[in-house]
A and B are shown apart, each in its own frame.
Chain A
């Protein structure tokens, strides 16, 4: 079994220490941060999500998986930053967060980290972020892109509200807007006029890279 499979299995089984041990070993063995995330951790957390949907896993297992993911990302962050330093030119500035009223943030954090790893300058505002805060920080840091995550059908609406607010303030041309989150679809993205949508972290980074080049 590849070490990536071992990582995802350990995560699914809820073994924090084992997962971190394997992540550290992967780094020592010179494996790329992107692969450790893509093929190991992300596979694991997606499996946790699948098991939740199938009714095999419940909230405690979901939280345990989330904790392990967070801890693993903490281990990887210094390496992500170092990898970014090796890229001489910044890909662009991104403000990312989960919309107001929504506390889900694992997926969003992974996207943020992977964007950093790919050379973007990322400001992660965390969960439960009101529209005003997204826009004021984007202005403050002169962002190129705003990324919005929402995991509830009720909070998805805020993604549309932010785009409407940008139009109102005549700022639509200023920022590329990308959205994501479990209930989000390409159809929703088209309906609200988002520039892009990422079904998962890998797809998000690909799309972000493509959109920033066009800006």
Chain B
């Protein structure tokens, strides 16, 4: 029987997987397609990606459900298939999950904004996150990861939705921050301190940051915030800043450079590390090797 996840986090550094979105684009997914639909229509590709991350050394893979709320799926007319797609995603990950590895149910932002930027309500957000959580839990994930949140208020609705359904499932929540002259802020203007404090109050077990920042900026963020929360920290940087050339987006960082910063993050006390946009199984393997060297 595998170790309780929070117990594992207290014992050693845990390695999350890398990007799904950019891997799907490399596999031929077009801009107007729905990634979650591939859980049903191209499930073998999804399984293969999860498999490759496990092979690279990841302890945890995140389900291909980043845009899996009804609100987000609704933009592609797929809201009625939300339950089906989320459950298929979990089954895909579970089917290739190795012994003593974990599957995390992934919850991303809805894409709709609260006032004054947009007009979605907190109630609508809560409902959407609640239904996604039900589907993920029913199919059997080991933990929930709420990620890439740029509005603390939205993140808290997701946290509440999870905790109202499952009071003790391991819950990781990572925000996405931009590096501004004055420091790190979300799009809405939330600081890391404000976020982590609120998230802790609402019952999140592990906090951190993912996306937007490349690894060297993530290291800077980590060193700024590590004293500011008692909770374990999780970081998933991008593989550098994206470069647009001829309508193609590429990420310029090498796996080696990425891994060196991952090592730094662990040195500074990060409990969970992984990769976001532009990272591949190669990146996660380089990170894994860096973690092995530390043992």
A interface vs B, CB < 8 Å? 54-56, 58-61, 63-64, 67, 153-154, 157
Contacts and interface: CB of A to CB of B under 8 A. Distances in A.
B180 interface: yes
Interface stretch (B2-10, B183-191, B265-273): B183-191
Contact of A154 (B113, B178, B189, B247): B247
A197 to B, nearest CB: 19
Contacts of A153: 244
State which size class the interface on B falls in: 10 to 19
Contact of A54 (B181, B183, B247, B249): B181
B277 to A, nearest CB: 14
Contacts of B246: 157
Contacts of B187: 58-59
Contact of A63 (B116, B186, B247): B116
Nearest to A183: B244
A60 B186 CA distance: 11
Nearest to B184: A55
18 contacts: A54-B180, A54-B181, A54-B182, A55-B180, A55-B181, A55-B182, A55-B183, A56-B182, A58-B185, A58-B188, A58-B189, A59-B188, A60-B189, A63-B116, A64-B116, A154-B247, A157-B244, A157-B246
B117 to A, nearest CB: 5
Given A54-B181, A64-B116, A67-B116, A59 B189 contact: yes
Contacts of B189: 58-61
B244 A154 contact: yes
B181 A63 contact: no
A157 B117 contact: no
A153 B250 CA distance: 13
A59 B244 contact: no
A63 B186 CA distance: 15
Interface in B193-220: none
A145 B246 CA distance: 26
Interface in B254-294: none
Nearest to B180: A55
A157 B188 contact: no
B122 to A, nearest CB: 15
Contacts of B244: 153-154, 157
A36 B205 CA distance: 54
A112 B116 CA distance: 25
Contacts of A157: 244, 246-247
Given A55-B180, A157-B246, 4 more contacts: A58-B185, A59-B187, A60-B117, A60-B188
Nearest to B246: A157
